[in-house]
Amino acid sequence: MTQATVVAAIQAVGEAIIAQKQFLTDLDAAIGDADHGINMARGFEQVIAKLSAATNEIGATLKLVGMTLISTVGGASGPLYGTAFLRAAAASQGKTNLDRHTAQAMFAAAVNGIKERGKATSGDKTMLDALEPALAAFADAIAAGKSLPACLDAACTAAYGGVEYTKTIPAAKGRASYLGERSIGHQDPGATSSYLMLKALADFCRQTKLDWE
């Protein structure tokens, strides 16, 4: 993946989130404060507007995305997703083309950043319930020598499973935790946006016929 591809991929991810603004907001209305889609869409609108200013270094581009999300999304998701992109940026420092090992390191750094900042773990009914299984599946697929689209598909399937899993548990972190047992039966908005972002990335790679080089 080159810099130009990264920019296009982020644009695709952003558009997917903006398209699901209402859906994500409705999910948040059920167990939170009805703003997750609004927050994320506001952030990615700014990201897309700023992408043209991106330099030709992948790390700098991802840092721009992280900083923009941090300064425009607000709420819990802003610092968390923002931190994720900043960490991914750091893990890709100096790269102009992404190989499978860098990609895995970036994904791992991103998930780790979210864990450090938010102090949540799997089973707390957060975005981590989508991201951690997705990361594991992604790593497994890479280890199994799969293609990029196949690796991302594996990540998506795992993330989707994580979203489904969030329906079955009470929230222990974030605003939904105030609901206690009443949050059971609802899927987590942040887990859902994580899944949607991975899904958009996978779709983008398939459509543009990208693969590991």
Partner 1 sequence: MKKIINSPDQVVDEMLQGMVCAHPQYVRRLPGLSVLVRANAPQPKVALVSGGGSGHEPSHGGYVGRGMLDAAVAGAVFTSPTPDQVYEAIKAVNGGKGVLLVIKNYTGDLLNFEMAAEMAAADGIEVEKVIVNDDVAVENSTWTTGRRGIAGTVFVHKIAGAKAESGAQLAEVKQIAEKVIANARSMGIALSPCTVPAAGKPSFTLAENEMEIGMGIHGEPGTHRAPIEPADKIVEHLLDKVLADLNPASGDEVAVMVNGLGGTPLMELYIVSRKVFNVLQAHGLNIVKTYVGNYMTSLEMAGFSVTLLKLDGELKTLLLAPADTPALVQF
Ligand X SMILES: Nc1ncnc2c1ncn2[C@@H]1O[C@H](COP(=O)(O)OP(=O)(O)O)[C@@H](O)[C@H]1O
Which chain residues interact with partner 1 by CB under 8 A? 25, 29, 31-35, 38-39, 42, 70-80, 117-118, 171-175, 177-180, 182
Is residue 22 at the binding interface for Mg ion, with CB under 5 A as the rule?
Answer: no
Task: Give how far Cα 31 sits from Cα of 4, 57, 77, 140, Å.
Answer: 38, 39, 15, 33
- Residue 3 binds: one of partner 1, Mg ion, ligand X, none (C-beta under 5 to 8 A by kind): none
Of residues 74-113, those binding ligand X (CB under 6 A): 75-77, 80
Query: How is residue 105 written in tokens?
Result: 């390191």
Q: CB neighbours (10 Å) of residue 170?
A: 18
Q: What phi and psi values does residue 2 have, to the nearest 5 degrees? A: -95, 175
Task: Give how far Cα 92 sits from Cα of 19, 23, 39, 95, Å.
Answer: 28, 32, 27, 6
CB of 201 to Mg ion, least distance (A): 23
The DSSP 8-state label assigned to residue 9 in this structure reads H
Nearer to partner 1 among residue 34 and residue 105 (C-beta):
34
Q: What phi and psi values does residue 97 have, to the nearest 5 degrees? A: -155, 135
Binding mask 159-188 vs ligand X (x if CB under 6 A, - otherwise)? --------------xxx------------x
Partner residues linked to 2 by β-bridges:
97
How far is it, in rounded angstroms, from Cα 123 to Cα 168?
A: 10
- Is the alpha carbon torsion for 189, 193, 199, 200 positive or negative? positive
Is residue 17 at the binding interface for ligand X, with CB under 6 A as the rule?
Answer: no
Is residue 133 at the binding interface for ligand X, with CB under 6 A as the rule?
Answer: no
Binding mask 127-166 vs Mg ion (x if CB under 5 A, - otherwise)? ----------------------------------------
Partner residues linked to 32 by β-bridges:
none
Q: CB neighbours (10 Å) of residue 26?
A: 14
Partner residues linked to 97 by β-bridges:
2
Is residue 132 at the binding interface for ligand X, with CB under 6 A as the rule?
Answer: no
CB of 180 to ligand X, least distance (A): 15
Closest residue (Cβ) to ligand X? 190
Is residue 118 at the binding interface for Mg ion, with CB under 5 A as the rule?
Answer: no
Nearer to ligand X among residue 98 and residue 158 (C-beta):
158
- Footprint on this chain of Mg ion (rule: CB under 5 A): 28, 32-33, 35-36, 75
